[in-house]
Structure 1
Amino acid sequence: MKLTAKIFIAGLMLTSLACKDGYIDDIETVSPGPDETAPVVNIIFPEEGPLTWVPNEVMSINIDFEVTDDIEIQDIVVSMDGTNIGSFSDFKDYRRTAMKLPYDNVTNGAHTLTITANDLSGKSTTSTVNFEKPENYVPQYDGEIFYMPFNDEYLELVSVSDATVVGQPGFAGQAASGSNAYKGATDSYLTFPSAGLTNSEFSASFWYKVNAAPNRAGILVMGPPDAANPDNPNNRTAGFRLFREAAGSNQRIKLNVGNGGGENWFDGGAAADINPSSADWVHIAFTISSTECAVYINGNVVSQGTYSGISWEGCDILSIGSGAPRFVEWGHLSDNSFLDELHIFDKALTQQEVQAILDNELP
């Protein structure tokens, strides 16, 4: 014990001598230098232009901004439409601060956000963003004519109209993008009138989480009535039918399109298979032009071929989540799968456009 104590005391003496001999630098005050520049104010959100449309007349946002200064920030003042909504003068880092300020009174129409930052030497910077809460949904993509985000409602935003609900579909409690996707149920689906959707070119894009039960189902269908078989219709001479069928343990996505005198099939084989045991959302898109049709899964072409152009004769109903009421003969009825972010376009999307939508909405 005595030996240990002696070694410890000797160690302390050596440490003390080392400090005195300059082995550890003394702490020196460094001048911050002259204050040469004004603060920099960077407003991250909202951006210039329209916000994403929501059906509520008043919405909440988080104002996201950053302020930096070469020496020291003195204070920051945030105002909305000329009214002060926040003032700040206490910062953990006096040269840089990043903030998110909640604001719950964004009404329909145009707004001006102004953020002013002052530094200790009296220099001031003001940054302004002019944005808008649109009264109606503003299409986000070229050619977009129909959009259902499925956020706890069956509302189509471009026309601001509700779907006709058949049976008792529900919501998934999860979403690919947003808050709550569509959840299919037995003998349940949604319909819309086809007015405005039956154009010479057509595309659809959506996210999908497949449920293998039942082993086949309709997903999106816009077809004509079947005079020859009204109780069990399967008229494929016009419109389109996007559906799934079992392929071993997988589910295969298929597209059938009517050309007026007959039909064309776009079946990608194994490339169009989805594994139901996967917990991943899958992005599906298909395009119809006057010369070609294509089916995409996760941005990749899984089926593509030449085509003479679609006929819309008698196609007055769009079905979502089932083949019913126009495509039921082979058992392509209601789909118990999840579906989210449904967009329809009056143009044939390119693969680059399909990929851009996928990237923008990626879960």
Structure 2
Amino acid sequence: MKKICLIGGMLQGFEVCYLAQKAGYEVHLIDKKKQVLIKDLVEHFYCFDITIYPSKLIDISKNVDAIIPVTENFDTIKYLHEIVSNIHCPILFDFDSYYISRDKAVSKSFFAKINVPTPINRPYSPPYFVKPITGSSSVGAFMTYDKKKIPNLDTDFIVEEYIEGNVISLEVIGNGNTYYVGKETKVHINESNDCYMISTFSNNKTFRKIAHNIASNLKLKGIMDVEAIQNKRNLKIIEIDARFPSQTPIVVYNSSGINLLEMLLEAFSLEEITNFECISTENQCTLEHLMKGKNNSLVHIGEQKLKNALTCKLYHADETIEIFEYMGSNKIYTLISKGVNEKSLCANRECGLNMLKYN
């Protein structure tokens, strides 16, 4: 049995735990907080700060097959980069690509050099889309028609044209030489620009070529998420994140059978990654976050709301639906629905919704 160690116990960690369970891996978790979201989903939990007790991390690295940072704490990632030579197993993370991707101004400059299409900077007319230079794109991002708000923003924000269309996502895994492009998914966004649902999406050759081009120019050695806006006229890249993403890999797994965690481990041990070409599948999957309201009603909530939960557990699982329940002040669930086609997906999803409504 392979053993992996995660640094960070929140949303990205949930994703890796899910895929690790499907692959039959044992998961070890390190987090400096005693109570973290995925604590009850892992086999071993260690509560300490790696920047204060690096020797503990080094000892753990002797007994696992790989370490995966799944934290958004930049100081933790920088420190891990500093001590990487002392670690006794691979760290499945591309630090150089991450430093480019976490700064949206730097990454946009990189896109321009390799002719990647992106939204126009500082457009003359509204609507404008404003987003922080660092951090998750949903936190602090907003759309406005008021040009007067734009000059008051400091250098911590990027102002772009607002483009209507589907938000679509792709994962790319690389070993620095060859690159595997995963399966497209659609990202459903609420009014707060937070993702409340992920669904399968049709293959897009243009998007796949752009994603591969970005990875090859980065010489990516790890996993990267690429997001774009697609409408009838064009496709534009809005951001990349060179880290293990949340939400989308679960939908990729259940619609295509491709476990991106397994692929990531293989990428660090193979000279060439096979199956680069587009995945063809008719299987369907949706992942959505729901909160129970008045009269047993269910409402969608954004992913960021899950950060307030104390822990989570598996509520129900079968071949058609899986439900995770989050412990906290409100009843919050993640519903994963599966089907061999759109019709069966809708029927299975309805069963899952009814299970939550009337239980």
TM-score normalized by structure 1?
0.25
Question: Which protein is richer in helix relative to its size?
Answer: 2
**Structure 1 or 2: larger strand share?**
1
Task: State the TM-score, normalized to the length of structure 2.
Answer: 0.25
